[in-house]
Structure 1
Amino acid sequence: MHGRIARRLAAMASVTALLSSCGAITGGDDDVVTLDFWCWGDVQTARVDAFNASHPDIQVRRTDAGGGNDTATKLLTASRAGNAPDVACIEYQTVPAMVVSDVLADIADKTGPLTDTFTEETWQLTDFEGHVYGVPDDIGPMVLLYNKARFDELGLRVPETWEEFAEVAAEARAADPDTYMATFSPTEFGNFAGLAQQAGATWWQVEDRNWTVGFDDESSLRVAQYWQDLIDQDLVTAEPLLTPEWNNRVNRGEILTWPAGLWSPSVIYSIAEGQAGDWAIAPLPHWEGDSNAVALQGGSALCVTSNSDQVDAAVEFLTWMATAQESTDAQIAGGQYPASLNGQAATAESPPPALTGSQEDYWEVATEAAASTVPHIQWGPNVTTANDAFADAFSAAVRDHTPLTDALRNTQEEVVEEMERVGFHVTG
């Protein structure tokens, strides 16, 4: 618990600096509308620059407020102070919590023409019974990113099922005792959520304001036990990702795969540029049966905040970000998979990311994954609490060698306890 409190305090402390950057720029041409925009990622620089160059009457000023969790925490504080930015990137799983806290504006009356720009499943990530709280920006359908050069060297096959994944993990360890098939990270809430959703889990459901919470449902427990078995057999490492130690393992070719969203090649390339062209993506392994369904891991919407008094200009910015070729080209070049249909179509004419530069069918695999996502995933009103509870419980389980299934049950208890404490009716 102490780690979670420290993280939240640190995030709160940095809000003061961000608040000072919000609000309209004074001086200059009175006809120019200035929008403040909070969003992480280098890809946003090129997009904002292109928008500003083509819209002299609307200028966007971007601030990187940190990643998804940091931005959400800071945005909540800024909104309560009445000084939130006009537009912010919000991860899909966090949108319901922002809606419940009245952080986001309903822009349904201004976004009707945009609905045909997305698949129904994608649009529903921000549309709640006709109330629209953002425009989808990028999505992260899950795939298996793997080091093809090392697979070829060790004579390994690409697994099609999770049963085969475990078999190949054993073969890899036998072929090279320093090599592991993958890493189970106890702090990656979104990754585990995606794997559980693929297996059939539904962590939150609501009907007539009655909530059901299922972190310890049968599907989730099955996934936890699966990874527990791999950890117990020393077939995967159990450690946080992107630490110096983990990065060194990747650079030495000792971590062979990463089941993750389509943004994963750009992350690995950022720490292992020397492996450009060595990696590839394959469909995410599935459970028994013929289903090729996968969940989304990551992805975000562009949302107008309830504090903004420039809603029309903000929606114009969102519309350009979703539909302009310059915008989607920058996304693709930066390693994002666009949420819009026109952006996804443009990937067919684009080279693959540098890490997977030798894979001719990269975008075909990516497109198939995007077309096979699990529909109608419901996120709850306290995802941040769930994220923190998960990280605390699973980190303790890995450290103390206690069952991951117990960590899931602990997460369930904490999520339900908070929902009931703040007034939600939880029926199961």
Structure 2
Amino acid sequence: MKASRSRVVGTTVATALALVLAGCSADSGSDGGSRGGSDGGSDGGESAELTFWGWAPGYADAVKAFNKTHPGIKVTYQEVQPGAKGGYQKMLNAVQAGNAPCLAQVGFETLPSFAAQGALQDVSKVARQDTADFLPAALHAVSLGDALYGAPVDTAPMALFYNKKLYDSLGLKPPATWAEYKEQAKKIHASGPGRYISSPYLNYDYAGLAWQAGASWFGVEGDAWKVGVASEANQKVASYWQGLVHDGLISPAPMYDQAWYTGLGNGKIATVVGAVWQAGVIKGGAKDGAGDWAVAPMPQWKAGDTAVGNAGGSATAVLKGCETTKAAWTFAHWLSTDRTTYGELVTKASLYPASYGLKDLPQLKAKDPYFGGQPIYDVFARASRNVSTDWTWGPVMTKTTADLDDALGKAWAGKGTFKDALTTTQDKTVAELRNQGLQVAK
């Protein structure tokens, strides 16, 4: 594919995608013809058999609930490895082989890559009447002009998860700034040699830190991609975390390793700066910490600011080759908007809805025993309003994040620097863009 000559009208994901998709996007979805029958009205004879690949907790039960209430459509759920751990590559391989499922869980950050490879199906012909149900930023993340590639499910505003029991014992309050956070890290580690603050961040968690600081990774100049992973603004973020590593304040336990969960449960790891979905990760993997933890707003670079990063968000995407787009959209829209089902996803997976109609779910107002009875989603509700929309994901994020993870892993372990990690990732990303025939701004 060559870079498009389409006019660039902004720097949202949708408009940035125009550079790589003109002339190579998937054909518009049909609203008839199915592997399992023919599409009809939602409750008036619609018949189809669909397969859905995903990994989020609660999705299997959601599919069962859908099948009970939509007898004409049978959805088979197949759990795959989380995207970055192999799920995305499996999806792309299946599309190339012509045997992909109709539906797949795809993160907002990865949709540009899928679209650039022609792996997505346009469902706009069958979905337009439902698009008003979604927050604009979430809808933009799954759109390109008039094309729509799926239904946004959740967004991922960030906050500070902290061990309140430990904080109280040390006379600490949640930090308002990153400078204060660093000083607290010193006090926490001084209180016990095995105590640390947040352990390593990789891929989209680290992107969220950059996002909050206004340190963009990608942009658009004319008909070319601008890559800024190693920009001065990003180096500011890298320098901060490099200092924490240098001072020995970061837990050596790799994120999501059993040692990490153990540290969260026994108070050895005092904080996690992460997205809303991390609540489910922490609760599920560190049960011994129940009642000790709380949630506070993300620390700021400047006192009084309210900037928030985003680390995730996903869609139920329709993959290239799906012949039952009407039925596929029926399920995708239902998963994102059904109050009973989504309430269960809040409980099981700590998802935060992308749909307007779900902001008042009782699960989002409930007091969480794990977090000391705090209604933690109040924090994320405020945070979601402060996530900057001035962020563009690039078209080769699978490659970018793989290279970043490799380099960051070494930096967190003290075997490299964050500066080098960003520079290496930028160089490899630029090379990959050019390898795909895309123009890169100097």
Q: Secondary structure at the match of 2:55?
A: coil
Matching of residue 100 in structure 1 with residue 140 in structure 2: no
**CA distance in 2: counterparts of 1:225 and 1:397, whole angstroms:** 11
Aligned to 2:11: none
Write out aligned runs for 1:26-425 (5 A): 32-69=47-84, 70-185=86-201, 188-334=202-348, 335-347=350-362, 350-360=365-375, 362-399=376-413, 401-425=415-439
Change (3 A) 1:68 1:414: same
How many residues align structurally?
Answer: 400
**CA distance in 1: counterparts of 2:438 and 2:250, whole angstroms:** 39
* Identity between Structure 1 and Structure 2 (%): 32
Change (3 A) 1:233 1:419: same
Question: Shift in Å at residue 329 of structure 1?
Answer: 1.2
CA contact (8 A) 1:156 1:172 kept: no
Amino acid in structure 1 at the alignment position of 2:164: K
**CA distance in 1: counterparts of 2:371 and 2:260, whole angstroms:** 20
Amino acid in structure 2 at the alignment position of 1:199: A
**CA distance in 2: counterparts of 1:110 and 1:154, whole angstroms:** 57
Question: Shift in Å at residue 207 of structure 1?
Answer: 4.4
**CA distance in 1: counterparts of 2:389 and 2:156, whole angstroms:** 14
Amino acid in structure 1 at the alignment position of 2:93: T
Question: Shift in Å at residue 113 of structure 1?
Answer: 2.6
Q: Secondary structure at the match of 1:329?
A: helix
**CA distance in 1: counterparts of 2:198 and 2:408, whole angstroms:** 17
**CA distance in 1: counterparts of 2:303 and 2:263, whole angstroms:** 34
Q: Secondary structure at the match of 1:296?
A: coil
CA contact (8 A) 1:126 1:133 kept: yes
Change (3 A) 1:342 1:259: same
CA contact (8 A) 1:141 1:295 kept: yes
Aligned to 2:21: none
RMSD: 1.9
Question: Shift in Å at residue 109 of structure 1?
Answer: 2.6
**CA distance in 1: counterparts of 2:289 and 2:331, whole angstroms:** 37
The CA deviation string for residues 331-354 of structure 1, in whole angstroms up to 9 with x for no partner, is 112121122122222156642445
Question: Shift in Å at residue 118 of structure 1?
Answer: 1.9
Amino acid in structure 1 at the alignment position of 2:356: L
**CA distance in 2: counterparts of 1:347 and 1:191, whole angstroms:** 28
**CA distance in 1: counterparts of 2:61 and 2:372, whole angstroms:** 22
The CA deviation string for residues 221-275 of structure 1, in whole angstroms up to 9 with x for no partner, is 1111100001111122244212122222222211011000101111111122132
Change (3 A) 1:354 1:96: farther
Q: Secondary structure at the match of 1:345?
A: coil
CA contact (8 A) 2:275 2:311 kept: yes
CA contact (8 A) 1:332 1:347 kept: no
Q: Secondary structure at the match of 2:359?
A: helix
Aligned to 1:18: none
**CA distance in 2: counterparts of 1:203 and 1:315, whole angstroms:** 32
Amino acid in structure 2 at the alignment position of 1:36: T
CA contact (8 A) 1:143 1:282 kept: yes
Question: Shift in Å at residue 115 of structure 1?
Answer: 2.6
Amino acid in structure 2 at the alignment position of 1:218: E
